[in-house]
Structure 1
Amino acid sequence: MMNTQMKSSKPYTSGSNTESSALQETPTKGYRAMVKQASLISLLASVTLIFGCGGGGGGGSSTAAPAPAASTMSELTVPDGFDYNPVEQHDLNIDISHISKNRSFVSVYSRYSERSDATFKPDYSSRLLAGSLNNGQFNSSFTAPISEENILIEIWFYDGQAPLQQVVSSSVMQVTW
């Protein structure tokens, strides 16, 4: 009877099976070592690419052209009568009383584009002036950049008809339709 107990199919193990657990951990440790090695190789390859590719060319020595000497304010000359003001004052007088005395609204734009149908499309962000006409007349003053040679004047009617549009020279501000 004692013989049968000793010939058990399972070996006797005390609380921890160190030999069995060591065999089970070995594949995990090997995998981790391979991942660390692959990471290290990737890091070294990246550093080599970043710092190893320096650009540069044939290594010829060329000197840079010397920078021009800076001018001082005392060296600048300005013609007599030069106006430093970048804007001009304009007086605008509009009269459409022979066309209509109905309620209408005027807008003046410094930038615009021409459409294919020969009308104009104003750049609404460039509006210089806006106001209501009184019995077909409008009088006002405004400032505009000197660089603007032409301006677009657009008159809208409240009855829904198409607006009146006219491009005028910024030096001529007397407008009659």
Structure 2
Amino acid sequence: MTMPNNKIYLALVMSFALIGCGGGGGGGGSAAPAQAAEETVEAVAEETTEVVEEVETLVESTAQSMQDLVIPDGFSFDPITEMNIDIDISNLSTQRAYVSIYSEYEETDSGTLAPSGDHKLAGQALEAGVGNIDIVYADGVEKVLAEIWFYDGSDPIQKELTIDDNTFYY
């Protein structure tokens, strides 16, 4: 509802600016700027009315109480998801390593996954190639990326994980 009001204020400011700029040095005055300002205000008011009517149409509901609401099976008002991730790469390596979990990443041209550092959910050191990490993330995230770095400078091991497949074994 604040958006339509902003348009009205903008139209009013613009119309005052146009009216204030009229005339000039010695030339014949004209009512055209004032008329243009009035037309702009009318057009914005008309747009505002249309937007408000659209919003009111979208918000309409027949529910009169909480008991009248229809909620689909499995719907949760809790906007977060929890995941417990088991990591065991002891068959591959028991050297010092660190795991990071990311909610956003993209595939590069070379086929590797490039995580977004702004979307790191958690991280911890692995002991002898084994670890367990709990994460909480926004509902709607379907996959997370687990990335294991070794302290020797070698390339990381990566794996996409889902709630159904939340283990990282090698």
Q: Same fold (TM over 0.5)?
A: yes
Can you give the 5+ residue segments of structure 2 that lack an aligned partner in the other structure? 1-22, 44-48
Match 1:136 to one of 129, 132, 136: 129
Matched, 1:90 2:115: no
Distance in 1 (alpha carbons) for counterparts of 2:137 and 2:24: 68
Structure 1 residue 38: deviation in Å? 5.5
Return the offset for 1:82.
3.1
| Structure 1 residues without counterparts, runs of 5 or longer | 1-36, 58-62
Shift of 1:41: 3.1
Give the superposed CA RMSD: 2.9
- Counterpart residue number, 1:70: 60
Compute the displacement of 1:124 (Å): 1.1
Where do 1:1-177 residues align within 5 Å? 39-41=25-27, 44=29, 48-53=31-36, 54=39, 67-68=56-57, 70-71=60-61, 72=63, 74=65, 75-79=68-72, 82-177=75-170
Give CA-to-partner distance per residue, 1:111-149, whole Å, 9 cap, x none: 100001010110111111111011111112121223111
TM-score (norm 2): 0.66
**Quick one: percent identity of the two aligned structures?**
29
2:19 alignment counterpart: none
Moved over 6 A (4+): 63-66
8 Å CA contact 2:161–2:167 kept in 1: the answer is no
Whether the 8 Å CA contact 1:148–1:170 is kept in 2: the answer is: no
Relative to 1, partners in 2 of residues 1:73 and 1:88: Cα closer, same or farther, differing over 3 Å? farther
Q: 1:40 to 1:124 in 2, by over 3 A?
A: farther
Q: 1:115 to 1:52 in 2, by over 3 A?
A: same
Q: Structure 1 residues 91 and 73 mapped into 2: Cα distance closer, same or farther (>3 Å)?
A: farther
Q: How many matched pairs?
A: 133
Letter in 1 for 2:91: H
- Who wins on radius of gyration, i.e. which is larger? 1
CA contact (8 A) 2:89 2:129 kept: yes
1:51 alignment partner, SS class: helix
Question: Distance in 1 between the 2:144 and 2:105 partners?
Answer: 8
Match of 2:152, as an amino acid? D
Shift of 1:49: 4.4
Structure with the bigger percentage of helix:
2
Identify the range of structure 1 (79-88 vs 111-120) with the bigger mean alpha-carbon deviation. Answer: 79-88
Q: By how many angstroms is 1:168 displaced?
A: 2.0
